[in-house]
Amino acid sequence: MEKRTGPINKMHTQPGDVVRYALPIGEAKVSLNPLLGKPVRFKFTGRIFCIHCGKATKTSFSQGYCFRCMQTLAQCDMCILKPELCHHHLGTCREPEWGTAHCMIDHTVYLANSSGIKVGITRSHQMRTRWMDQGAVQALPIVRVKNRLDSGKVEIALAKVLPDKTNWRLMLQGKMEVLDLKAKRDEVFATLAADLPGEKLFEEEYSFSYPVLTYPTKLTSLNLDKQPEVTGDLLGIKGQYLILSSGVINMRKYGGYEVEWESESIVEETGATAPIEETPDAIAPVAEPTALHPVQDTVPRPMKAVAGEAASQTSLL
C-alpha cells in the first residue's frame, strides 16, 4: 500500500469521455480514476489548516477557512452564496481588487440537470468546472451578463419558477433522465423575458459522464468529524463525492483537513487537473438525445442541434 499525508482540498476535475478526478493531498494530486474498484483508506489526523493562509485552526469555516480568513476574505462574504447581494459597486467590497478580478467579469446563468432541473450561475470561463463539481449530467448556458450582481438578479427571477438547489441524494443515485433543457429555456424566455438583464443565449447543450462502477441503492453519509477513519472500495466519483462500499463522502466539505491516505497504488497528476478556461466553440458536437431515457455515458461537450432547429448564436468558485 502506498501513502500520502497532508491537508486535502476540493477535487480537481478534467473533462473527457469520463470526467477525470484528482484529490489534492498536501503538495500531491492523487489521480482517483485508476483507483476505481480498489480499496482505499484515509484517516483524519485531527489537524486542520486554512486553505488560504495555511495556519492551523481548530474549526473549519466555509469549507476550509480559518475564522480570520472567513471574516476578512471577499471569497467568504455572503454575496458569494447570494450573488444578488454583491456590493462591489458600492465601494464596500472586502477586497476590491479580488472583486474586480472575480465578480466584475462575465457571468453565465445556466440550466443544469444534476438531480433534476436547476438554475445556477458561474463565471463564464469556469462553466464546465462548475458543472462537473455539481455532478451535472446536462447543462445549458442561457444568459450572459457583465458582472456577478446581474447574474444574481437573473437567478432570483428564474428561481421563482425553477429550483436552484441540487438534491445530493438523488444525484448520487444516478437515476436522472435526460431533460429537454432547450424547451425549458424557451419557456423561461417567453415567461420572464422582461425580468432578465443581459444577453440571451441560444447555445448548444453539454453532457457529462462520471467514473462510477455502481450507484448505491442505500446512501450512508460518512463524516470525518464523527468517523475519522474511512475504508472501503472506491465504487465511483461524482460531483465532489466519493462513492465507497462503506458510504459516500463530500470531500469538498473537508477542505484543509489533514488526512493520511492509503491505497494499493498512487498515480500523481502533474498539473493537468488545473481549472481550464475555454470557449464552447472549441469542442466538437455530439448527437442530441430525442427522447427521455436514462442518461448514458457521453463526452462532455456541446450536443448537436436537432434537425431543423435554428443554429446557435454567438456558480462562482
CA nearest to 131, candidates 161, 110, 155, 159 = 110
- DSSP letter string over 170-228? HHHHT-PBP--HHHHHHHHHHHHGGG--SEE----EEE----BS---SS--B--TTT--
Residue closest to 95 by CA, chosen among 64, 54, 52, 144: 52
Q: How is residue 293 written as a grid cell?
A: 431515457
Low-confidence ranges of the chain (pLDDT < 50): 272-317
pTM here?
0.84
CB 291 within 8 A of CB 276: no
- pLDDT of the residue at 297: 35
Gyration radius (Cα) of the chain, Å = 20
Residue spans of the domains in the chain: they are 2-66+212-263, 77-208+274-303
In this predicted model, what pLDDT tens digit does every residue of 227-276 receive, in sequence order? Answer: 999 999 999 999 999 999 999 999 999 999 999 999 988 888 765 444 43
pLDDT of residue 271: 52
Work out the burial of residue 271: count CB atoms within 10 Å of its CB; fewer than 13 is exposed, 13-18 middle, 19 or more buried.
exposed
Q: What are 54's three cell numbers?
A: 495555511
Which residue from 207, 180, 236, 214 is spatially nearest to 296, judged by alpha carbons?
207
Return the amino acid letter for 304: K
